[in-house]
Structure 1
């Protein structure tokens, strides 16, 4: 299951998976694009391994990875609690 995490000011969406048995969490960034449909990036925490990129240039990738790096501790915590809404008590 994927949980919503953050919508950036450029309308890119960041979601994350549940905490997996192997200790990893999948983080997925997606942004609508008129020409291509959607651009996306997949990253696994805690290693920050990027496994799939489509449509994002190096500068965009680094921008999204900076957001992921700066919030990784929250993503990891929320992944254990069923996403932000369950972790925050909303």
Structure 2
């Protein structure tokens, strides 16, 4: 199951999985693009392993890498609590 984490001003969606038995969390980034459909990338925490990067420039990926690194502690916590909405008791 994937949980919503953040929506950016350009409609980029960042979601994450539950924490897996091995302690890893999948973070999925997806941005709609009228020409190509979607750009996307996957990061696995806590080791910050990136894969399946499609359509993003080096500058965009630098931004996403910083954003995920700065928020990894929250994503890891929420992954154990059923997502941000469950963690906030909504």
* Alignment TM-score, normalising by the size of structure 2: 0.97
2:28 is aligned to 28
Alpha-carbon RMSD = 0.6
What is the match of residue 80 of structure 1? 80
Alignment gaps of 5+ in structure 1:
none
Counterpart Cα distance in 1 of 2:40 and 2:27? 11
Q: Distance in 2 between matches of 1:62 and 1:47?
A: 16
Query: Cα deviation per residue 1:51-88 (whole Å; 9 max; x = unaligned)?
Result: 11000011101111111111100000000000001111
Deviations 1:23-60 (A, max 9, x none): 10000000000111000010000000001100001110
Structure 2 residues without counterparts, runs of 5 or longer = none
